[in-house]
Amino acid sequence: MLRKTLLLFAFSSLLSVAWGQTIDRGTLRWMRDRPIIDSIVIEGNQAISDSRIRSRMYSKVRTFFDMLKGERRSRLQRETYDRDTLEIKYLYLTNGYLGVRVSESFEVLPVDSTALIKIAIDEGRQYFYGDKAVEGDFHPGFAIRFEKIYRRLKTGQPVNPLALRQVAFDMKTSLANNGYPYASVTFEFDTVISPPVTPIAFTVVTDSVVHFGDVLIQGTANYPEFVARRELKIKPGDLYRRQAIVDSQRRLFESGYFSYLQLERMETNGDRLNPDFRLKVRERRPKFISVKTGAGQSELKDLIWDFSFGAGKRNFIGSRRVSLTSDYSFSLGEESRLITHRYRLRYTEPWFLGFRMPLTLTGEYEPPIKSTLQDFTITSWGVSASTIKWFGDKVKTTTGVEYNEVKISDVPPELEQELKEAEGISARRKIYTVYRRDSRDNIFIPRRGSLSDMSVEFFGGFLGGDDDFYKIEASWGRYQTVWPGWISATRLKGGYVTEFGDSEVVPKDELLYLGGANTIRGFKENTLGPLREDGSAEGARITLIFNQEFRWKTIQVLKAIPWRVFEELPLWQSVFLDVGNGFRNDTEIAIDNLAVSYGTGFQIVSPAGPIRIDYARRVKTEKYDFDSRWHFTILYAF
C-alpha cells in the first residue's frame, strides 16, 4: 500500500500541471457547485472492461443509496481529475501496460447541469516477466535468499512495477538485516524487445559490513538505566541488523515504563562502520492510583454496581512492580447489600531469572460474607504465580499455577460437603498453560490475518484440592477481504472437560456453557446445551461451535443526527450464521443435535471498540423451536 501511495504521488505532480491547462475557468466555476455525476463514458480500452475500470475510479454515478448517505464520490470534486486518472493508471501499470496514457474530461449536461465524465485510454503494449538475474559484489550466501525473494515474479505474468520495487526493497532489507545497511539494489528491464517478454536484471552493491556501536540513553530518572538497556537488541560489536532496531523499539514500549521514545543514529562519532545510537525516553509516572466503577446484571437479574480501587508502584526495588487493589460489588434494589469484596496484592518481576519472561505473584483474600442464595458464610483465599513468554511479535504463551482455599461457616458440619457439591464450592489447585497466535491487522475490525487460542487446565491430582479434572479449550479464527469492502470472519471453537481420579463430577462452574452474544446467538446467555429436568442449563463437557460472519461499512445514516454526535463513529453492518451446541458425552454429537441461528447486526465503531447490536433468529429443528432474540454488547463475538 505504501508503494502504491508513493507511485501515485509521483504521477500527481505531473498531472497537477495538466489540470490548469485542460480545464477552463467556466468549467472550474461549474465544478465549485459540485455537480452530480450523471454518467461515465470510457473509450479506448480493450484489455480491461468498463466495469472493472469504473470500480477502481474515485468517481461514481449517483444512485439512490448514494443520495441517502451523502456519498461524496457521486459529485464532481476538484480532486476528481487527479484521483480518477491515477487510479486507472495504477490499474494498467500493475497489469503490465507500462506505457499507458489516460486523459479525462468533463461535460455539462444541459438539462440539469449534471456532469458527464469522459475517459480516453491509450493502453499501449503489455509486458511480461522473462528470466530473472542478480548481479553485484554480494556474498555468495545471499544468492539463495535473493532467489527466494525474486521467485515471486512468475515468468509469463504481467510486469508489475510496484512488485519489482517491493522485490528490490526486500533484497535491500535482507542485506540491512545482515550487516549491510548501506547496500543498494536497482533493477532494469527492456521495453523495446519483441515479443514483449522482458528479462529482469537486479544489480546489488553491498558497500562495507557494519557493526553496532554503543547506545546513549537519555531521559531515565525514576527508573534505573538498565530498565531500558536490557530491552535493547542492539549490542556493541554485534552485526548491524535493521530488524534489531525495530524489535528494540517494540520491546521498549511493551515494557510499560515509557510513554514516548526515540531511537536514532548519532552522527557525532563519524564512524560509519560502527555507528552509535541515542535513545531518548519519556518515563511513565512510577506511582499510580486507579478508580473504576460500573453497573451490570447478575444471573439472578439483580442490578449490580461494582467499585474497584487500586494503587501501585512501577519502580519498587528498582524496576519491580507492586499493586494493591480492592473490589466491591453491591446489589441494588429492595435487598441492597454487599455481595462480594476482594483484596488483591500483586508483585511482578519483569525479567525472571534474567530472561524476558515476566513473573507475577498474586495473593488474594475474600473476607467472610453471606451467600446470596442461602444462609451460610463463605471465606476464601488464594495465591498464584504466572509467567508470559513472547516468541516473535505474534505468538504468546502464558503458564501459571494457582492454589485456592475455601471455608464455609454457619452450617452444620454434616451438611457442609453436600452444600459444597450443590453450590460448586471447593478448594481448587491448578496448573495451566495458554497459547495464542495473533496475526490480525487490527484487534477491533480485522481485515486479514488469523487468531488461534488454546488453553489447557489441570486441576487437582498431585496438586491436591477437592476436585480432580482437566479442561481443554481451543479456537481458530480467520479474517479476509472477499469483496471490496466486505470482510469474511470465520471461527471454529471447541472445548472438553472431564474428571479423573477420585472425583466423580466436574464443579458446575467449570463446565462449559453456550448461548448468547459471543457463542450461539438467538439463545439467552449460557442456556444452550444439556438441560436439567427443570429446564435450567446443566453445563456441557464437550462443545462445538462454528461461526461465519460477513462485515461491511454500511450507509452512514447516523451522520444525519444533529450536533455531529456520531461524526467520527462509523456505522458497520454484518450478517452471520452460528452453529453449535454443548454435549454430555461424545455419543450425543450429531448433526440433528446442533442449534442453528442466523441474523444481522449493526456496529458503531467507537475508540473502545465496536458497540454491537445483533438480531438473531433460530432455525426450527426437532430439538429447538423457532425463536428470535436481540443481543447488545461491545466488541465483535470473535
DSSP 8-state secondary structure symbol assigned to residue 224 = -
Query: What letters, b where the CB count within 10 A reaches 16 and e where it falls short, cover 335-355?
Result: eeeebeebebebbbbbbbeee
> According to the model, what pLDDT value does residue 433 have?
98
Q: What's phi and psi for 510, nearest 5 deg?
A: -105, -5
Specify the higher pLDDT residue, 19 or 201. 201
The cell numbers describing 262, all together, are: 526515540
Percent of the chain with pLDDT over 90: 64
**18 confidence band (pLDDT: 50, 70, 90):** very low
215-283: CATH, from 3.40.640.10, 3.10.20.310, 3.40.50.300, 3.40.1410.10: 3.10.20.310
Residue 157 — pLDDT band, cuts 50, 70, 90?
very high
The neighbouring-strand residues paired with 451 are 438, 477
**The predicted structure's pLDDT at residue 421:** 66
What is the CB neighbour count within 10 angstroms for residue 554? 16
What mean pLDDT comes out for the span 10-16? 41
The average pLDDT across 568-576 equals: 92
Amino acid letter at 281? V
Q: List pLDDT tens digits, range 227-252.
A: 999 999 999 999 999 999 999 999 99
Whether residue 346 is predicted with pLDDT greater than 90 in this model: the reply is yes
CATH of domain 2-122: 3.10.20.310
DSSP H helices, 178-308, are 226-229, 242-254
| DSSP collapsed to 3 states, 191-217 | CCCCCCEEEEEEEEECCCCCECCCEEE
**Mean pLDDT across the stretch 426-449?**
94
Burial class (CB in 10 A: 0-12, 13-18, 19+), 612: buried
Mean pLDDT of 259-268: 90
Q: What are phi and psi of 352, to 5 degrees?
A: -80, 125
Q: What is the mean pLDDT of residues 473-492?
A: 94
**Average pLDDT rounded to a whole number, residues 330-341:** 77
Which residues lie closer than 8 Å to 151 by C-beta, 6 or more apart? Answer: none
Q: What is the pLDDT of residue 333?
A: 67
Sequence letter at residue 273: L
- State the average pLDDT for the chain: 87
Cβ density class 410-438: b for 16+ within 10 Å, e for less: ebeeeeeeeebeebebbbbbbbbebbebb
Q: Is 545 exposed, middle or buried (CB count within 10 Å of its CB: 0-12, 13-18, 19+)?
A: buried
CA nearest to 490, candidates 550, 430, 540, 536: 550
Q: What confidence tens digit (pLDDT) does each residue in 511-554 have?
A: 999 999 999 999 998 899 998 888 888 999 999 999 999 999 98
Identical fold, 128-205 and 215-283: yes
Instruction: Kindly list the domain boundaries of the chain, sorted by start residue.
Output: 2-122, 128-205, 215-283, 514-529+541-638
Starting at the earlier edge strand, list the strands of the sheet with 277-283: 215-218, 277-283, 258-265
**How much is the pLDDT for 14?**
40
- Ranges of beta strands (E only) in 85-169 are 101-108, 115-122, 128-136
pLDDT of residue 432: 98
The confidence score (pLDDT) of residue 3 equals 42
At 180-234, the pLDDT tens digits run 999 999 999 887 776 788 899 999 999 999 999 999 999 999 999 999 999 999 9
Around Cβ 1, how many Cβ atoms within 10 Å? Answer: 6
What is the value of pTM for the model shown?
Answer: 0.79
Lowest mean pLDDT among 197-201, 415-419, 614-618: 415-419
Q: Is 512 helix (H, G, I), strand (E, B) or coil?
A: strand
For residue 195, cis peptide bond before it (omega within 30 degrees of 0): yes
Nearest to 71 by CA among 59, 80, 56: 59
pLDDT tier at 5, thresholds 50, 70, 90: very low
Q: Which residue has the cell 528494540?
A: 248
Report yes or no: 134 and 202 within 8 Å, Cβ to Cβ. yes
User: Per-residue pLDDT averaged across 22-31, rounded?
Assistant: 64
Beta strands 115-122 and 277-283, pairing class? unpaired
The runs of H, that is alpha helices, within 230-328 are: 242-254
- Cα→Cα distances 137→141, 170, 273, Å: 12, 17, 18
For residue 600, is pLDDT > 80? Answer: yes
Per-residue pLDDT at 354 exceeds 70: yes
pLDDT at 369 over 70: yes
57-83 pLDDT, tens digit per residue, is 888 888 877 676 667 788 887 777 788
Which alpha helices (DSSP H) does 554-620 contain, by range? none
pLDDT in tens, 36-52: 888 999 999 999 999 99
- Mean pLDDT calculated for residue range 9-29: 49
Q: Per mean pLDDT, which range of 19-33, 61-75, 81-95, 404-418 is the poorest?
A: 19-33
Residue 336 φ/ψ, nearest 5 degrees: -70, 130
Instruction: Compute the C-alpha angle 536/409/534, nearest 5°.
Output: 10
What pLDDT, on a 0 to 100 scale, did the predictor assign at position 19?
42
Best CATH choice for the domain 128-205 from the list 3.10.20.310, 3.20.20.70, 3.20.20.140, 3.30.950.10: 3.10.20.310
Pairing of β 37-43 and β 320-332: unpaired
Cβ atoms of 362 and 383 within 8 Å: the answer is yes
Q: Give pLDDT tens digits for 447-467.
A: 999 999 999 999 999 999 889
